[in-house]
Amino acid sequence: MKDFEKYYDFIKDDETKNTVKKIADKALQASKNYVPVVTEFTNPYVAELCSPIIRNFDVKFELFPSSELCERKVFILYPDYFEEINEDDYITTIRIRNKSKFKKLNHKDYLGSIMSLGIDRNKTGDIFVYEDFADVVVNSDIADYIIYNMDLIGHNKIETEKIKLENTLFKEQEHVILNITSSSMRLDSIVKHVANKSREEAANMVRGGAVKVNFREEDKISQEVKDGDMISISKFGRFKISRLSGVTKSGKYKIEVKHYV
């Protein structure tokens, strides 16, 4: 078996490094014990880092949910001789219906109530919010615990039920559109506009490790961002460069940004 320590040293962010190590341990478990195992939910950057490591073990793997609208996914790792895996054995969707006609619930409401039960965020996937309900993807082993312990979100009465993954209503997370004009596509310039900070403050946020690009910590203020990049800023949220809509007469970039709420 290869020594992965040098590979781990390449990963700057400790949280990401620890998650990759955990998933490598899961792959070893599946290989040694000849049983399928499921990981916690992880982001696309971690999944990208883990794939070459997993291929060093005698296991197959799949990422679920398979929908492109899902950002957070689990690895299901299983021995070579397994012909197929039923994802419903490992991850489940809980549909939470808001019974109040007066207060709409948002993503933070649903997530906050689940976290208040002592559930680790890594045990939950994406939350798809609609007018009067939300579909929440979770590891199957915590689904019943959530259902038995949740009957209110704030003062709103709710109803919960488990549904199959194939019946989940996936969609892009709610967002508002920001239209900004930037002198360049440098990271510090984009952070300045979306966080409403000075250029110097934005640069300090980047250098201080408060900014991730595509889920990877980025401390270079001169890093160029491009169409489709996801920028996460601590305490400010997540912003996706959704469209470059042209250049002004003075040579500045006109950029459409999705701010996820």
Question: Nearest-CA neighbor of 119 among 143, 98, 95?
Answer: 143
**pLDDT (tens digit, 0 to 9) for every residue of the chain, 261 residues total?**
567 888 888 888 899 999 999 999 999 999 999 999 999 999 999 999 999 999 999 899 999 999 999 999 999 999 988 878 889 999 999 999 999 988 999 999 999 999 999 999 999 999 999 999 999 999 999 999 999 999 999 999 999 999 999 999 999 988 999 999 999 999 999 999 999 999 999 999 999 999 999 999 999 999 999 999 999 999 999 999 999 989 999 999 999 999 998
Please check whether residue 185 is in contact with residue 226, taking contact to mean a CB–CB distance below 8 angstroms: yes
Sign of the Cα pseudo-torsion (102, 107, 113, 116, in order): negative
Distances (CA, A) of 212 to 18, 209, 219: 17, 8, 8
Residue 253 has a pLDDT of: 95
Burial group, residue 13, by CB count within 10 angstroms (0-12, 13-18, 19+): middle
214: three-class secondary structure by DSSP: coil
- How many other CB atoms are found less than 10 A from the CB of residue 6? 8
Residue 228 has a pLDDT of: 95
Report the distance separating Cα 128 and Cα 143, nearest Å: 16
Please check whether residue 14 is in contact with residue 21, taking contact to mean a CB–CB distance below 8 angstroms: no
Residue 4 has a pLDDT of: 85
Residue length, the chain? 261
122: three-class secondary structure by DSSP: helix
57: three-class secondary structure by DSSP: coil
Residue 2 has a pLDDT of: 67
Residue 82 has a pLDDT of: 85
Report the distance separating Cα 186 and Cα 243, nearest Å: 16
Please check whether residue 31 is in contact with residue 57, taking contact to mean a CB–CB distance below 8 angstroms: yes
Residue 19 has a pLDDT of: 95
Structure tokens at 114: 């689940």
Is this model's pTM higher than 0.95 or not? no
- CA angle, 52 then 57 then 61, to 5°: 70
Residue 118 has a pLDDT of: 96
Rg of the chain over all Cα atoms, to the nearest angstrom: 21
Residue 179 has a pLDDT of: 96
